[in-house]
Amino acid sequence: MIAFGPVPSRRLGRSLGVNNIPDKVCTYACVYCQIGKTLRMEIERRPFYEPELIFREVEKKVRDARERNERIDYITFVPDGEPTLDINLGKEIDLLRELGIKLAALTNSSLIWRDDVREDLLKLDFVSLKVDAVSEPIWRKVDRPHKSLSLEKILNGMLEFRREFRGKVVTETMLIDGIDYGDEFEKIAEFLKELKPDKAYIAIPTRPPAESWVKPAKEEVINHAYQVFTEALGEERVEYLIGYEENAFAFTGNVEEDLLSITAVHPMREDAVRELLRKANADWGVVEKLLKEGKLIELEYNGKKFYMRKLKSRE
């Protein structure tokens, strides 16, 4: 299936997906990939589908959605492999422009050092770049790149792209258990400070990964990354993507629901939790109940208490 959705997305509102790469041709073989193992590892761009075919499939989906009064905020290249391997990407973007909907792509950034790839991505309104690591050993262990790729060239390519791009840039950093991150979060934060993304997302695998040993990072690790990133970028520019998309941000007037939905997006400091309870005319018993039920967990960072939604994968 080339076009699918629209599906709800925290980053993109309602997104109509474009699958412009067959299963699973990629530049990486990420250990956590939720599509599965990479079947063909490639780094040379080539054609996959006729651009006109992609346009027709997407146009049909857009028509169907409009007939049902469904909103589409973005048409998004989010394929079963790396979207920038498609040599016709630029052509496809030009054709899809006719539909009058904003265009996005989620890329692993591996080919962004190439001028022609940056040129294609510059035509979009929104680009999500993967930044799992800025140190070679962790990059190789987690993303398992094609052996001819250079991390330094990729990082420079991202900075180059950011300088030219007028749209919205977000980054995604996937955290998994069993990796000794050491001071990697500080190094990533330094890089992000230079890249200046509109949002830096911290993610964990939420569906079965390519390698069975892969587990989501522990809450303490996620919280540590969050604190380091917010120190570099500011609180409003860092968020979690940890598998609670459906009700994140929902202020329902139900204080339990509100606490869980906010802490699915970012941890809340104790004083912020107390403030929310005060507004809702509720007492600390609500937090104690959620802790007891295992829905919320208490973490400490720099001598302060934080509350975070317990991960589904660790329930």
Instruction: Read off the pLDDT of residues 250-267 as tens digits, 9 standing for 90 and up.
Output: 455 688 888 887 777 677
Q: Do 35 and 11 reside in the same domain of the chain?
A: yes
CA distance 107 to 123: 14
Q: Do 20 and 92 reside in the same domain of the chain?
A: yes
Residue 287 confidence (pLDDT)? 94
Q: Which CATH number characterizes residue 55's domain?
A: 3.20.20.70
Q: Do 231 and 269 reside in the same domain of the chain?
A: no
Residue 212 confidence (pLDDT)? 85
Q: Which CATH number characterizes residue 278's domain?
A: 1.10.10.10
Mean pLDDT value across the chain = 90
Q: Do 168 and 32 reside in the same domain of the chain?
A: yes
Q: Do 89 and 210 reside in the same domain of the chain?
A: yes
Q: Pairing state of beta strands 3-9 and 13-18? A: antiparallel
Residue 61 has pLDDT above 80, yes or no: yes
Q: Do 315 and 190 reside in the same domain of the chain?
A: no
Domain that includes residue 301, residue range? 251-315
Q: Do 222 and 299 reside in the same domain of the chain?
A: no
Q: Do 152 and 31 reside in the same domain of the chain?
A: yes
Residue 205 confidence (pLDDT)? 85
Q: Do 99 and 230 reside in the same domain of the chain?
A: yes
Question: Where among 211, 242, 273 does a domain terminate?
Answer: 242
Locus of tokens 């997305």: 9
Residue 258 confidence (pLDDT)? 80
